[in-house]
Every structure is written in structure tokens, then in C-alpha cells.
Amino acid sequence: MSRKPLRSQAWFGGDSKDAIMHRSWMKNQGMTADAFDGRPVIGICNTWSELTPCNAHLRELADRVKRGVLEAGGFPVEFPVMSLGESNLRPTAMLYRNLASMDVEESIRGNPIDGVVLLVGCDKTTPSLVMGAASCDLPTIVLSGGPMLNGRVRGEVVGSGTAIWRFSDEVKAGRMTVAEFKGAEAGMARSAGSCMTMGTASTMASMVEALGIALPENAAIPAVDARRATLAQLTGRRIVGMVREDLRLSAILTPAAFRNAIRVNAAIGGSTNAVLHLIAIAGRIGVPLGLDDWDQSGRGIPTIVDLQPSGRFLMEEFYYAGGLPVVMKALAETARLDGDALTVTGQTLWENVQYAENFAPDVIRSFADALTQEGGIAVLRGNLAPDGAVLKPSAATPALMQHRGRAVVFDTIDDYKRRIFDPDLDVDPDSIMVLRNCGPRGYPGMAEVGNMGLPPKLLAKGVTDMVRISDARMSGTAYGTVVLHIAPEAAAGGPLALVKEGDMIELDVPGRRLVLGVSERELALRHAEWTPREAATSGYQSLYVKHVLQADRGADFDFLIGRRGAAVPANSH
């Protein structure tokens, strides 16, 4: 156990003018003298915001965390950081993930904090806070806000995000009225919490549990279940112990932890967004992680969690079935997980999950009866994606996994929106829809538009899936045979920029290939004629496009990679 003085004592300890000043101002909140007597100061980093509906309940959870911190002899201090709400924030919350991570990193480093609780929920709030905290590397624990209760619409149980895509397609195909669609609004999101499908929020809540940086059961307890409040209190207690043990993120976020998380992502049918976020988190803590790690570690791991968008159920059923500990136990028992990985409990992953029980084998299935045998993220390469692209086999149509088709090219998302309703659009079910200029630099921010809706004229004929390829991302609640994250992106001069209407494209998921049927010579000619699009020259967007890395590097900023630690010089009042 570490006996070195706590970091916060550099602010609050002793009788110097500075120490008296630091304590004096804090006492304007009515704090007692013993708050500064050398007990661990725990920062509760809160993404509460009424503009981030999925995180709107986090102030109540913060109170529970504080209760736990106080019980364990710590001093809790709550502070706000930039909150990224997926549903409201434009042009895309991903544009601000790195910005929020800078807010988190500097807020932690610059303040008298010994340990941190990260309160997260909506998609980008989890990676942005973990990235910022990883750069500081203090004792840190994550608490997710938990998923919403199941959606209920017209007698049907529906998933918050997944249903939007389906209903929208139904309206386009004339099978649902706009009034019925509007009527679904309140029923799709009917309680506090984040999307209750295995979308990006639930995936990232699972990832932090799988990485070992959140307490067991963090991923699935519904936001409004009393056990979420209990977990918050236990999280508050535990972070005080972690400070006393000097148990830092870098001791937990090891290469083995990332491999475990990749395998868990395959088993739960998690979001493709996790690829970007885990690579970015690994970059901050100093663990080399790339696209090939995703393919190698996740390959051959079956998806056993039968949740939307890949399967049938929702997070509520997942929790009642036993949640993520059941999945991790099943993986560890079959040597698919490293059970020796250390976690925030101070115990190994195996010690955490060994007593887990599966109460619903139809929700968490066996490996023999898996939802799909190929659950990992497929990483594709070829002359169309020299630095890689990803596809989620569990959300794709098996018959389209090997497919050749004629390119129908949309230059931007606005071009797509303009032309997709055109009855004369030259497209058939075998065509491959290509969308570009939606990557990190091109959009900018890498929008979740890769699963572009099918042409209404084909939907009306009953077509339910087509191959779609882009440099964009896809919402974790979406589905389809969709190739995403093509790197380098079109705006960076990648070959995607050179595709012309009618070019043949070959997708071969088993062979991990994505090939444009155009000669190298012709591509060189096209490249010579290609001119980059204008990029923002002022404001945050200009900083973003100048420094954002490509998708295969996690779309982090080049200058943020790495662990900078928590050391900070004393100020000079």
C-alpha cells in the first residue's frame, strides 16, 4: 500500500499562504476542516446535461457516489465536463470527442484530485472521459448511467435507436404512416438512461467493464433500477480504496485488457464505434493497438448475446439474464479471455465473474447455439482501403458477404439526400452504394451516416439490405452489410475519392478484401485530377481537420497521443 503523500496535499496540506487560500475558498461551500486533513480527494467527473438526455439523471447518481466516498473516508468533489449528447449535438458528437477529452484531462490534472470517478452514459461521453483520464493516469473508475427501460410502442417492445431506422424505412416504403411514426416518439425512450439496444452506449459501458475499469455489472443494470444507485455507492467506496492502493489506470489498461475487450465486443455483437474508441484509449495510455488486433483477437469469437440490432432482446433482458459477467465467465471458461487481468476491484477478472449465473439461456446463448459464429469485427483491406476498413458481420446479411456490384456514388451526404428519392436513380439490388467525404476530415467529425437508407424504390420492392461502403461511421443501433471507416478517407486523398459511377467493386468478407476493379494506372490518372475539398480555416473545426488522425488510428488528435501523467507545477499566487 502506498504511503506517499496524496496529490491533493500539494494544494491543501500545511500552513503556507497558498494552502490557506486553497482551503479558504473551498470552505465557502460549508466544508469542515477535516475535509482537508489528508483524506483522499475524489473528483466526480460528471457529464450531466439536460441537452444530453441519456445523461440527465447523472446528478442523482453523483449523490450516491458521494455517499460511498464519504463512507470510505474520502472527500468527494463533483465537477462538470463537456457533455456530448448523441441525439442533439450537431454536426456530430464525434467531432467533439477529442475536445471533451482535453477538457477532462486538463480538469483532472489542474485540480486537487487524488482519484476520479467518471460518470458517463451517452455514446461519446464514455470514450472522451476515459481518454482524458488515461492521459493523466490517476486511480480512476468508470460508472455508466445505465440503459433505459425497454421501449414500448403500440403493443410492441422496441429498441430506442434500432426502431428509428426500421420505422423510417417502413414510412419510406409506405407501410407505416407519419402519424404512427410520431406516435412512437415517447414510447421509444420512456425512462432515464441511454439507448437500450447493444448500440454504442451499451457497447462502451460493456467495454469499460470488460477492460476492468468499472465494477462488475456496470454495463447492464437499467438506469432506473435501484441496483444502479447501489452500484454508484459501491463505486464511490471503491475509488477511495484504489487511491489508498495507488491502483492506477495504467496497471489495468494493459494489452491483455484490450484483447479481452475486443473479444467481449465480439461476443456481445458490439458497435463498430468501439474500434475507434478503444484504439484511441489505448493510444492515450501507451498500449499499441491497431485494426489488425481487432481482427486477430476477435476472429472466431461467436456472438452469444441475442440483443438488437444483431438479435432480438434489449439491455433489460440482458441484465435479468445475468449481464456481462455471464458472458465473460463463458469466454474465460473456454480460454477465450485472459482471466488473470487485473480490475478496479483489486481482483482479477476471473475472480470477479466466477460465480456468475445465466438465468436466461435464450438471451445469453451457448457457443454451440450462437447468434452468429463470426462475431468479431472484420477488417478489410485492398486497393479501396489500403489502411483498412471495418464491417460487423453479425449485423450483415450472410448472402452479401461475398458480393460484386456496380458502384452508385454519392459524393457527400447532401448529394445522397438529394438523389436517393429520385425514381430514375440508376440503382438495382446488386449495386454497391458508395458514400464519401464523411470521414474524420471530410465531414468533419466522421458522421454516423454509413448505413445510408436504401433507395425507396427498392425498399418498396421488398429489398431489405444492400452493400454500402463509406469512410463514415454507423450508429451502433444500426444494421446492414455496411463497410465503414475506410482509411485513408476520401478527403485525405484515399482511393475512395477516385471511385466513379459504374466501377465494379468486390467485397469479400471471408477473404478480408475490398477491391475496386480499376487498374493502378487508371487510379493514378484519376488521382492526378483529384483536388482536395475546402476545409475549415478558423475555429475549432480548423484545429480538428489539421490534427485528426485517420480512422485506423482511432481518429484522435496527433498531439494528444500518449500518457502525460498528472504532475503539475505549483501556482504562484
**Which residue, 194 or 343, has its beta carbon nearer to ligand FES?**
194
CB of 480 to ligand FES, least distance (A): 18
State how far the Cα of 250 lies from the Cα of 279, in Å rounded to an integer: 15
Q: Is 316 in the site for ligand FES (CB under 6 A)?
A: no
When asked if residue 122 is in the footprint of ligand FES (CB under 6 A), the reply is yes
With CB under 6 A as the contact rule, the residue among 60, 79, 87, 465 that binds ligand FES is: 87
List the interface residues with ligand FES, window 155-214 (CB under 6 A).
Answer: 161, 194-195, 199, 201
Asked whether position 306 contacts ligand FES by CB under 6 A, the answer is: no
Taking the complex as a whole, how short is the minimal distance between the CB of residue 423 and ligand FES, in angstroms?
A: 33
Helix orientation angle between 58-71 and 226-245, rounded to the nearest 10 degrees: 50
* Nearer Cβ to ligand FES (199/375): 199
Gap between the Cα atoms of 423 and 216, Å rounded? 52
Q: Give CA–CA dist 413/474, Å, rounded.
A: 13
Nearest C-alpha neighbor of 432 from the set 394, 462, 400: 400
Contact 119, 61 (CB under 8 A): yes
Rounded to 5°, angle at Cα 126 from 143 and 49: 80
Residues in binding contact with ligand FES, number by CB under 6 A = 10
127 lies in the site for ligand FES, by CB under 6 A: no
The answer to whether 250 touches 286, Cβ cutoff 8 Å, is yes
Q: How far is the CB of 123 from ligand FES (least distance, A)?
A: 5
Q: Is 405 near ligand FES (CB under 6 A)?
A: no
Name the 3-class secondary structure at 193: coil
User: Crossing angle for the helix pair 97-110 and 539-547, nearest 10 degrees?
Assistant: 90
Q: Measured from the CB of residue 81, what is the shortest distance to ligand FES in angstroms?
A: 16
Residue 450 found at the interface with ligand FES (CB under 6 A)? no
For 263, the grid coordinates are 473479444
- For residue 309, whether the previous peptide bond is cis, meaning omega lies within 30 degrees of 0, is yes
Binding track, positions 8-47, relative to ligand FES; x by CB under 6 A:
----------------------------------------
Shortest separation between residue 163's beta carbon and ligand FES, angstroms:
12
Q: Does 86 bind ligand FES (CB under 6 A)?
A: yes
The CB-of-52 to ligand FES minimum distance in angstroms stands at 7
- Alpha-carbon distance of 85 to 175, in angstroms, equals 31
Torsion on CA atoms 461, 463, 467, 471, rounded to nearest 10 = 80
- Backbone angle region of 157, left / alpha / beta, with phi > 0 → left and psi within -120 to 50 → alpha: beta
When asked if residue 338 is in the footprint of ligand FES (CB under 6 A), the reply is no
Least distance between ligand FES and beta carbon 487 (Å): 25
Is the CB of 161 or the CB of 442 nearer to ligand FES? 161
Distance of closest approach, residue 106 Cβ to ligand FES, in angstroms: 25
Q: Which residues bind ligand FES (CB under 6 A)?
A: 54, 86-87, 122-123, 161, 194-195, 199, 201
